[in-house]
Amino acid sequence: MKIAIPAEDKSMDKNVYVSFGRAPYFLLYDTKTKECEYLDNSAVLNQGGAGIRAAQVIADNGVKALITPRCGENAEKVLSSAQVFIYKSIDGTIKENIDAFCAEKLSLLTDIHPGFHGNEQK
Amino acid sequence: MEMSKNKKVFAVLSGKGGTGKTLLSVNLSAVCNESVYIDCDVEEPNGHLFFKPANVYEEEVTVKIPTLNSNLCTGCRKCADLCNFSAIAIVNKKPLIFEEVCHSCGGCVLLCEAKALYEKDKAIGKVQSGTSDNVTVKTGILNTGEASGIPIIKKLLKDILKSNKITFIDCPPGSACIVMESIKDADYCILVAEPTIFGSHNLKMIYELVKLFNKPCGVVLNKCIDADNPSERFCNENNIKIIGKIPFDTELGTLNSDAEIASRKSEKYQEMFSSMLEKIIKETDA
């Protein structure tokens, strides 16, 4: 199963990026083959609609689960239409989050925020 | 005052809210024999609170939004690839349209070979027109949550150049696109400024904007007290005409907070705003 995680750097030892749409990279990880791949997030500089574009990339790559600290409502709409489950990340590195996901210790993200719409918080 | 040869359009702007754009444009409109007041501050129009216009006529403002006929869609993605604002995502080979992100460019509909996308009207607000004695009062109102008030301003100002009355445009605060749209057809810009360092910074921003648009301009210094005025200094340093000074006084503040038009209530303010009007008309005749 393919999962995705927003990443600040191309390293699994770094923490999960604080938001989804504006993350510099997405780590795509295959839980079966343990293969991983980093995608540049082309939406990072988008004036608006970053969450939608980022969600599109996730959906297009056949991802089944996204692990993120938060997610806006537009991105959520794309992801849920594409049957991508959204899990809430835990404090810690990307690696620790992948391990927690594989051990079924992560819960689904329920507090979808209304989006920052140009007022992205750093 | 005799106004027959003046059908000029004046835009009143300021770098931030609460500087006195509405106070000034409402009162300048009120001291004319006949005038049009247009409230372009569509996110929070308040000129109508002073004028309390009668015989109000209202029109809805709409924009075009793409709509999907799912049966015709081939899932080619051209619409989503085109959209600069990511207002369209493709999920399960069908477009998912985000109306509030759409900027109504119409590109996706033009590009759709299968004709699966068509345009529908979406209401984003309204314009009102009424009268208050000698003043025609026009107000733009943007619905809460809408991204851009520009279509409303376009509608408000559509026939502005055909008007045979002196016109005052009460602009939105700041110097963004929505202000540019508001001053585009103005003959003269009146910049309102507060007597603080922050106020002079805001003045500089809009001064640069009107210069960019090659608009002649003058400044009205509001909330003046007997002390150093950084905005006045800025005007003097840059050779900007000072049209007038409005004192920071309790009587004016009270009238204004009671939603009264000061120049209609008091001879003193009637004279003050009339003399400013005379000056700006002289400026534009010169």
Q: Where are the alpha helices (DSSP H) in B76-134?
A: 78-82, 107-111
Q: Return the residue of B nearest to A80 by Cα.
A: B91
Is B153:B182 a contact under the CB 8 Å cutoff?
A: yes
The separation between the first and the last C-alpha atoms of chain A, rounded to the nearest angstrom, is 31
Provide CATH 3.40.50.300 ranges for chain B.
9-40+157-285
Pick the residue of A78, A80, A83, A119 with the most B CBs within 10 A to test the interface with B by mutation.
A78
Provide CATH 3.30.70.20 ranges for chain B.
63-123
The separation between the first and the last C-alpha atoms of chain B, rounded to the nearest angstrom, is 18
Note whether A52 contacts B90, CB cutoff 8 Å: no
With left for phi above 0 and alpha for psi between -120 and 50, is residue B112 left, alpha or beta? beta
Helix, strand, coil share (%) of chain B residues, nearest 5 = 35, 30, 35
Pick from A46, A47, A78: CB nearest B89: A78
Within an 8 Å CB–CB cutoff, is residue A55 touching chain B?
A: yes
pLDDT tens for each residue of B149-201: 999 999 999 988 888 899 999 999 999 999 999 999 999 999 999 999 999 99
Query: Where do the domains of chain A lie, and which CATH numbers do they carry?
Result: 2-102 (3.30.420.130)
Interface pTM (ipTM) of the complex? 0.85
CATH topology of domain B63-123: Alpha-Beta Plaits (3.30.70)
pLDDT tens for each residue of B89-107: 999 999 999 998 898 999 9
Note whether A55 contacts B89, CB cutoff 8 Å: yes
The closest of A96, A99, A100, A116 to A46, measured between CA atoms, is: A116
pLDDT tens for each residue of B128-137: 999 999 999 9
Quick one: B100 exposed, middle or buried, by C-beta within 10 A (0-12, 13-18, 19+)?
A: middle
The closest of B45, B85, B92, B37 to B68, measured between CA atoms, is: B92
Please tell me what DSSP assigns to residue A113: B
Residue B5 has pLDDT above 60, yes or no: no
Q: Where are the alpha helices (DSSP H) in B138-249?
A: 150-156, 177-183, 197-212, 230-237
Angle between helices B21-30 and B267-285 (to 10 degrees): 90
Pull the structure tokens for residue B114: 């299968």
Separation CA A17–CA A70 (nearest Å) = 10
pLDDT tens for each residue of B212-244: 999 999 999 999 999 999 999 999 999 999 999
Q: Which of 3.10.129.10, 3.40.50.300, 3.20.20.70, 3.75.10.20 is the CATH number of B9-40+157-285?
A: 3.40.50.300
Within an 8 Å CB–CB cutoff, is residue A44 touching chain B?
A: no
Cα A58–chain centre separation: 8
pLDDT tens for each residue of A46-90: 777 889 999 999 999 999 999 999 999 999 999 999 999 999 999
Burial B125-162 (b: 16+ CB within 10 A, else e): bbbbbbebeebbbbbbbbeeebbbbbbbbebbbeebee
pLDDT tens for each residue of A97-120: 999 999 999 999 988 877 665 444
